[in-house]
Amino acid sequence: MNGIWIELVILLSKQESLAMNRIMKKSMSNSLLKQNGMTMLGMMIVVGFILFQLVLVMNIFPAYMTDSTIKNIIEKLPEDPSVKNKTAKEVKAIILKRMRINSVYGLEDIVKVKKARGEIIVTVDYEPRGTLVGNLEYIIKFEHEVRITSR
């Protein structure tokens, strides 16, 4: 007799769970049908954020490209055999010439060349500044140093 009651309880609990599943699926499908997507305000916020990111990239990217060019010029100096036995002024002239060749203008005063014991120390330290939008500005700090051993 107890076995029959247990089977009956199990059968009822299965039927209840099936009924609950049907109710849950029905309510979920109704709520999914009511969802229509992003509102106009949400879309405007997303578009505004994307436009702001584009303005950032368009204004800051040239500064990073210029720095990439300067860094490339400076890092190739130790490999250049013609620089090894030059004076500090001659090394600076070589760097400035390479900067002009690569269309980097107006940054002549950022290059500092010192002659130390058995090496030439080239330091480039500058902060490009610019306007993003209105009175919103940016400042980026770049520092590069290369040591060239002289013979």
CA-based R_g, the chain, Å? 34
Residue pLDDT, tens place only, 20-58: 667 666 666 666 666 677 788 888 999 999 999 998 899
Residue pLDDT, tens place only, 84-123: 888 889 999 999 999 999 988 888 889 999 988 888 899 9
Q: How far is CA 129 from CA 31, 59, 60, in A?
A: 52, 10, 9
pLDDT bracket for residue 144 (50, 70, 90): very high
SS3 (DSSP) at 126: strand
Phi/psi of residue 68, nearest 5 degrees: -60, -40
